[in-house]
Amino acid sequence: ALSYALFPTVNEKINYTLNDWQQLEAGQGWFSSDATRWRSLAVGGQIFLKHPYLGAGAGDIREEVNLAFENRYPKSGKNILPHNQYLYWLAAYGLLGFLLCIAIVIQPLGFKEGRRKVGHLQVQIILLLSFLVEATWQSSLGIGIYVVFTVLYLSNLSEQSSIREGS
């Protein structure tokens, strides 16, 4: 609430999002970026419910998205993949693949030494939070950012471990 009052850009973005939502609810605003993202989330959830255990498959997810958009939002104009990494994994790989992906992503946080370093922990949490608003791993840039920060995080842990062993 404080950010809304103090920062005009936050205020504008919230008002813009609410306006988009109201237009979509009224059957208008089909082509706004927010509306397209919301539809992609609904479509991703629909695909997951259709293929809950093993998902639609990474090779077939685009076709499933296009089909779901045609059936559910025929006048959409733009069919995008689910705009949330977690939902993308659920739709593409199902619950089993989702759990495997989550295990892989949070594995670096399992190192005891790493949890003591607040900066590294913060970066990992920021990266995990980015998955809520973007299908981060579906672009080479997203993968690159995640890999760079995770490798830096793990290399620092390796250096700390070797220093302790050498002492």
pLDDT of residue 111: 72
pLDDT of residue 117: 74
pLDDT of residue 114: 64
d(CA 124, CA 130): 10
Give the pLDDT of the chain (167 residues) as one tens digit per residue. 788 888 889 889 888 888 888 887 787 777 778 888 989 999 999 999 999 999 999 999 999 999 999 999 888 778 999 999 999 999 999 999 999 999 999 888 877 766 677 777 888 889 899 999 999 999 999 999 989 988 888 787 766 666 666 65
d(CA 155, CA 153): 6
For the whole model, what pTM was predicted? 0.82
| Closest among 49, 52, 51, 61 to 135, alpha carbons compared | 61
Whole-Å CA distances, 49 to 52, 56, 72, 87, 115: 5, 10, 15, 11, 35
pLDDT of residue 3: 82
The phi and psi torsions of 57 (rounded to 5 degrees) equal: 100, 140
Quote the radius of gyration of the chain (alpha carbons, Å).
20
Do 80 and 123 form a contact (C-beta atoms < 8 A)? no
d(CA 50, CA 160): 47
